[in-house]
Amino acid sequence: MTERDGLLVYPVAEGLTIHFAAQDTTEMLANIKPELIQQVWERYGEATEIVFYIDCDIVIKAPWHRLENWAQYGVALCEDMNSPVAKSHPLRAQWKAYYAQYGVGYEPKDDIYVNGGFVGIHRRYRGFAERWGELQRYMKEYTGHQDRIGIADRWNMFHFMDQDALNVAKDLTDTVSIMGPGRYGFR
């Protein structure tokens, strides 16, 4: 282990190092995923082709090159076990009304509800993380400080804060590549 530029750097295997960056926040880390992704691009610049955010409880069971290939076709996302959520579902209607006050023209494009535990973004789609982060900032006007994973219950418009904002961002983006819930072993 070494320390450089405020990072703890661990060599894991030949050609692979893990960089740990302390976060100065009181928000639940799950709720700052877009900012974490953007930090990678800010720190490593154009040398970074793809950024993957992967929750710590996810086990990757495919060769890494398959994930890299997947992210070439759009923002790599996985359908959640709570999917589908119909385009006409009250949650989506609430999201539409809520985000309209911020000038966001949200229209659900399908019934797919994706999981926030895995996101792969190629640099040509990096605006996705910015949009997702913007949607979460707007959401905080409703949720307040995001220091926990969920609020209230699923009847609440933004129960899964990071994931609900991710799903709005998904519907506002043409360049997504979604695999079914089998990728998570949900079904």
Residue type, 100: A
pLDDT in tens, 90-101: 999 999 999 999
pLDDT of 182 reads: 72
pLDDT in tens, 36-83: 999 999 988 888 999 999 998 888 888 999 999 999 999 999 999 989
Q: Is the pTM of this model over 0.95?
A: no
Q: How far apart are CA 125 and CA 72, in angstroms?
A: 9
pLDDT of 46 reads: 81
What is the average pLDDT across 155-160?
85
pLDDT at 183 over 70: no
Q: How far apart are CA 166 and CA 79, in angstroms?
A: 12
What average pLDDT does the chain have?
A: 90
pLDDT of 75 reads: 98
pLDDT of 28 reads: 80
- pLDDT-derived band of residue 187, with 50, 70 and 90 as boundaries? low
What is the average pLDDT across 6-22?
88
Q: How far apart are CA 33 and CA 54, in angstroms?
A: 10
Question: Quick one: CA torsion of 180, 130, 128, 44, rounded to 10 degrees?
Answer: -100
Taking the CA atoms of the chain, what radius of gyration do you get in angstroms? 17
Q: How far apart are CA 52 and CA 177, in angstroms?
A: 14
Place of tokens 């320390």: 3
pLDDT at 148 over 80: no
